């Protein structure tokens, strides 16, 4: 029957498709033993019912779950060594080779066969073998092969120092030329292997050379030339290789090693030391600017703060030198270095066409340091310092509340820190009654500092970001007011009455301004005033004055308690 044949044909097609789906999905349903092929359409039947060409369209969505192995991304093998592991193995192997050479030399020395000359020849040959082996292996794995020549460079430096210091086989000039040649060889290897490791070895070997070679530190002029030439070489290499760490290490070593040599051997040649420090400042400042401009990228924060300790070191070394020999010029020269740093920053910003927040913070921190140390502590007369602190106390709240301008020329926070430090120093002087003996209006300052501290608190109290700073100012204001009362009023009982007056005013101001912090702060003043009166003042006070003081104390405490009960539960109108 035609209809029966057509039905069997359709069932066979469906069964074949189900079998294919089961195979793709890896089902546990067993595959049919055989699939009956649909018979050819009979000419007597209805229109031909040809099956689809392929069941792939139905299987395609499921096939996505089992991609072809060629297209599947290969998972990294768990046995593949990491970069840190390869570095550890490479360094360990190179170190083992160096140790093997050392023990071989020791064995030769103990047996009497290895004379000093033979030791040095073998060391040189071993270093050459390490460098040659690394060059041969470079085509296969340049990064891993770089460890062998690095060990060879270390052996060469040690060979030159040993030949000069321990055996006396070569003179100082030959040793210096050897150090120079090895450092240049290291720079060449660094370029060949594209590794900063060689440059760092070259920096270490060249700058520490004068520590071991007396001929290099014999005269100030020779030492200045030696270090300055290397500073230029390493700066140029850093620019070429685009590795900032090279000139950074050179900068630190130049300042530190020269300072050690100057302190030990050349303290009388301070003019040369001043020239050297100025040259290093100019060389490395220019390098830092050129590096950023050449890369087209401003300083990042990690890079900027890597420069800051070097700036501190330069400032400390140069200011100490100037303070000993040119004291009057020290602050002005320090201001000149700050101006040069600011000019270099502006030049870099103009060339890059972009603002560097890290560079701006770095320059601002150095300028704030110079203003605090060179100008405030050194250049400013002692009698003027308290008035500067008072002026800072007046403008500090305004500066603190002002929003930071990211596009401004300088960052604000370093100057806030410097101003806060100046303020703390002057408030300490107020409390300890120091530094005001040379000021002609010391009593006025004793009054103005607590008064301005209260004003500063009122300016900051509504800013939640500065709540802790405001509370610190309030505490310092109370403390300085109490100190001023003791110093300006000869009678101890009347000074205690002044404390009560300050506490009453603070409580009243807290009530009027709806400032619970200010109101609560008066409790400590009431307590301290009461204890002072009862424990110390009454015994040495005239009877009538004693009665007056006790009346004032009682009324103040009772009235204060009444007002305190009316204080608001929380501060009102505090802004973000």
Read off the pLDDT of residues 25-43 as tens digits, 9 standing for 90 and up: 654 444 444 444 444 444 3
Question: What pLDDT is stored for residue 227 in this prediction?
Answer: 92
| Residues pairing with 463 in the sheet | 575
459 and 501 in a single domain? The answer is no
Q: What angle do CA 177, 179, 185 make, to 5 degrees?
A: 100
509 and 467 in a single domain? The answer is no
Question: What is the total count of domains within the chain?
Answer: 3
Provide the H-helix boundaries in 142-219. 142-145, 147-161, 172-193, 196-212
Q: Is residue 433 a part of any domain in this protein? A: yes
506 and 475 in a single domain? The answer is no
Q: Is residue 339 a part of any domain in this protein? A: no
Q: For residue 307, give Cα distances in angstroms to 240, 289, 300.
A: 20, 12, 11
Question: What pLDDT is stored for residue 431 in this prediction?
Answer: 72
Per run of 10 residues, the mean pLDDT along the chain (length 576 residues) is 62 73 56 45 40 42 39 40 58 68 58 63 78 81 76 80 72 82 88 84 88 78 90 93 92 94 89 94 95 88 92 95 93 96 92 85 94 93 85 79 70 88 82 58 80 86 78 86 84 79 82 80 76 68 62 64 58 39
Nearest-angstrom CA–CA distance, 131 and 134: 5
Q: Is residue 532 a part of any domain in this protein? A: yes
568 and 530 in a single domain? The answer is yes
- The 3-state DSSP class for residue 463 equals strand
Structural domain including 548 reads 489-576
Q: Is residue 434 a part of any domain in this protein? A: yes
468 and 506 in a single domain? The answer is no
Question: What pLDDT is stored for residue 190 in this prediction?
Answer: 84
521 and 444 in a single domain? The answer is no
Question: What pLDDT is stored for residue 406 in this prediction?
Answer: 63
The model's pLDDT over 455-465, given as tens digits with 9 standing for 90+, comes to 888 888 877 77
Nearest-10 Cα torsion for 498, 502, 504, 509: 160
Domain C-terminal end among 462, 482, 502: 482
Q: Is residue 15 a part of any domain in this protein? A: yes
445 and 495 in a single domain? The answer is no
Q: Are 507 and 560 in contact (CB under 8 A)?
A: yes
Report residue 49 CA to chain centroid gap.
Answer: 79
Domain C-terminal end among 459, 482, 505: 482
447 and 519 in a single domain? The answer is no
């Amino acid at each position: 029957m035609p209809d029966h044949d057509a039905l069997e044909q359709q069932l066979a097609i469906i069964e074949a498709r189900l079998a294919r789906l089961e195979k793709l999905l890896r089902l546990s349903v067993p595959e049919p033993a055989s699939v009956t092929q649909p018979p050819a359409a009979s000419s007597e039947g209805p229109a031909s019912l040809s099956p689809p060409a392929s069941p792939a369209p139905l299987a395609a969505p499921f096939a996505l779950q089992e991609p072809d192995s060629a297209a599947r991304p290969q998972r990294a093998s768990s046995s593949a060594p990491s970069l840190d592991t390869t570095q550890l193995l490479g360094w360990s192997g190179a170190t083992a080779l160096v140790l093997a050479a050392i023990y071989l030399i020791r064995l030769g020395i103990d047996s009497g066969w290895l004379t000093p000359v033979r030791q040095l020849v073998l060391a040189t040959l071993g270093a050459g073998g390490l460098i040659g082996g690394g060059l041969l292996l470079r085509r296969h794995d340049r990064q891993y092969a770089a460890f062998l020549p690095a060990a060879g460079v270390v052996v060469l430096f040690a060979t030159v120092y040993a030949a000069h210091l321990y055996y006396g086989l070569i003179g100082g000039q030959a040793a210096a030329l050897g150090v120079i040649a090895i450092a240049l060889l290291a720079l060449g290897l660094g370029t060949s292997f594209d590794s900063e490791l060689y440059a760092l070895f070259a920096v270490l070997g060249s700058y520490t050379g004068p520590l071991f070679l007396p001929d290099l530190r014999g005269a100030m002029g020779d030492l200045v030339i030696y270090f300055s030439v290397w500073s230029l070489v390493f700066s140029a290499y850093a620019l070429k290789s685009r590795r900032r760490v090279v000139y950074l290490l050179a900068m630190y070593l130049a300042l530190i090693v020269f300072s050690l040599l100057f302190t030990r051997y050349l303290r009388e040649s301070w003019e040369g030391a001043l020239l050297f420090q100025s040259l290093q400042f100019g060389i490395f400042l220019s390098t830092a600017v050129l590096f950023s401009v050449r890369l087209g990228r401003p300083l990042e924060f990690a890079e900027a703060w890597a420069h800051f300790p070097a700036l501190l070191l330069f400032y400390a070394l140069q200011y100490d030198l100037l303070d000993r020999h040119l004291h009057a010029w020290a602050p002005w020269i320090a201001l000149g270095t700050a101006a040069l740093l600011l000019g270099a920053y502006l030049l870099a910003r103009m060339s890059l066409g972009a603002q560097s927040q890290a560079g701006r913070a770095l320059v601002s921190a150095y300028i704030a340091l110079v203003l605090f140390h060179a100008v405030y502590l050194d250049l400013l007369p002692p009698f003027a310092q308290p008035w500067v602190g008072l002026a800072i106390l007046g403008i500090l709240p305004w500066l603190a509340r002002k929003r930071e301008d990211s596009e401004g020329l300088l960052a604000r926070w370093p100057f806030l820190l410097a101003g806060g430090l100046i303020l703390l120093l002057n408030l300490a002087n107020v409390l300890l009654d120091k530094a005001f003996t040379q000021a002609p209006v010391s009593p006025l300052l004793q009054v103005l500092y607590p008064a301005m501290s209260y004003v500063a608190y009122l300016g900051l109290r509504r800013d939640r970001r500065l709540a802790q700073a405001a509370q610190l100012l309030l505490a310092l204001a109370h403390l300085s007011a109490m100190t001023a009362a003791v110093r300006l009023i000869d009678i101890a009982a009347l000074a205690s009455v002044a404390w009560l007056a300050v506490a009453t005013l603070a409580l009243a101001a807290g009530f009027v301004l709806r400032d619970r912090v200010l109101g609560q702060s008066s409790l400590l003043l009431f307590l301290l005033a009461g204890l002072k009166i009862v424990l110390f003042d009454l015994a040495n006070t005239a009877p009538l004055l004693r009665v007056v003081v006790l009346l004032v104390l009682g009324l103040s405490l009772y009235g204060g308690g009444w007002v305190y009960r009316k204080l608001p539960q929380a501060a009102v109108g505090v802004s973000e």
